[in-house]
Amino acid sequence: MTLRSLHDRKGQELIDGVLEIVDRLGPLHLSIVGGDPLVRYRELELLIPLLLDRGIRVQVVTSAFRPLAPSWATQAHMNVVVSIDGLQPEHDVRRAPATYDRILKNIAGQKVTIHCTVTGQMMKQPGYLKRFLEYWTPKTEIRKVWFSLFTPQVGDSLAEMLQPDERLQAIVDMFALRSEFPKLDMPEGMIRQFATPPHSPRDCVFALTTQTLSADLKTKIVPCQFGGNPDCGSCGCIASMGMAAIAAHKLGGIIPVGTIFKASVKIGQIGRTRCKPTAAPPRVQEALRVLR
């Protein structure tokens, strides 16, 4: 089954469906990603205030191929993330019609996060990450910048994949650049995690704490937002690294948070298998992603 073969909900059916799921699962955070969620712009304009009223943090990940709602610029607990595939020459080829010129026009007056997935091609050009930050961070519309590293599927052989020395250089660059560019919103503990990504989805705190749904609001994307058979050992997802950094934090300087977390997941799974089939599953504060 491919995502394209699924029935995408739209209109009121989409709004009602999302609200039903968040009311049932009670997520702390909802990330709406694509494709591009802005193709459902009318629904988003209605849905987002209803989600924020419920105390849920909302993130919209977009190419900014069309203007953002003016109200999004001032909403607390709302983050618009604009995906940019490198500097203008590379980005405009890959992302047309969401070119640099169009993005700049469409984010005017907003406060957005720029997210760039670093590829092998970029790391073959020394100083690329610095030039990217020099371009984006002076702009008033940019609240912060995030870097991920390209994550392949198992068995892939793609030019986008980073060689081990390129991955190491990206880590070194991010460490150096974070003090020069305060808008690079990546703590040291998070950057460090890129050097030791999880071995498998079972070790990935991010995969264990999130649920990804397709736009039919039924089909689960597993084991994480990448779907398929992702190469965890080469994972460069900033969200996964952020959760790993939290898990590595030691409570009282002794017990890593991840140890407590994994024990609680196990207890939850045992509890779930002992529940009668008709019993409601334990209420888990899961982050929930809705793919268009």
In the complex, the residues that contact ligand SF4 under the rule CB under 6 A are 151, 197-198, 201, 204, 206-207, 223-224, 226, 230, 232, 235, 237, 240
Residue 92 or 198: which CB sits closer to ligand SF4? Answer: 198
Indicate the pairing of strand 220-221 with strand 78-83: unpaired
Residue 136 or 206: which CB sits closer to ligand SF4? Answer: 206
Give the shortest CB-32-to-ligand SF4 separation in angstroms: 18
Residue 87 or 223: which CB sits closer to ligand SF4? Answer: 223
Q: Write out the two tokens for 277.
A: 């089939």
* Close Cβ partners of 103 (under 8 Å, ≥ 6 residues apart): 63, 64, 82, 84
DSSP, residue by residue, 23-43: HHH--SEEEEESS-GGGGHHH
Give the shortest CB-207-to-ligand SF4 separation in angstroms: 4
3-state secondary structure of 60: strand
Distance CA(275)–CA(83), nearest Å, equals 42
Residue 222 or 284: which CB sits closer to ligand SF4? Answer: 222
Give the shortest CB-84-to-ligand SF4 separation in angstroms: 20
Give the shortest CB-171-to-ligand SF4 separation in angstroms: 16
Residue 110 or 148: which CB sits closer to ligand SF4? Answer: 148
Give the shortest CB-199-to-ligand SF4 separation in angstroms: 8
- Calculate the CA dihedral of residues 212, 215, 220, 224 and round it to 10 degrees: -30
Are the C-beta atoms of 110 and 67 separated by less than 8 Å? no
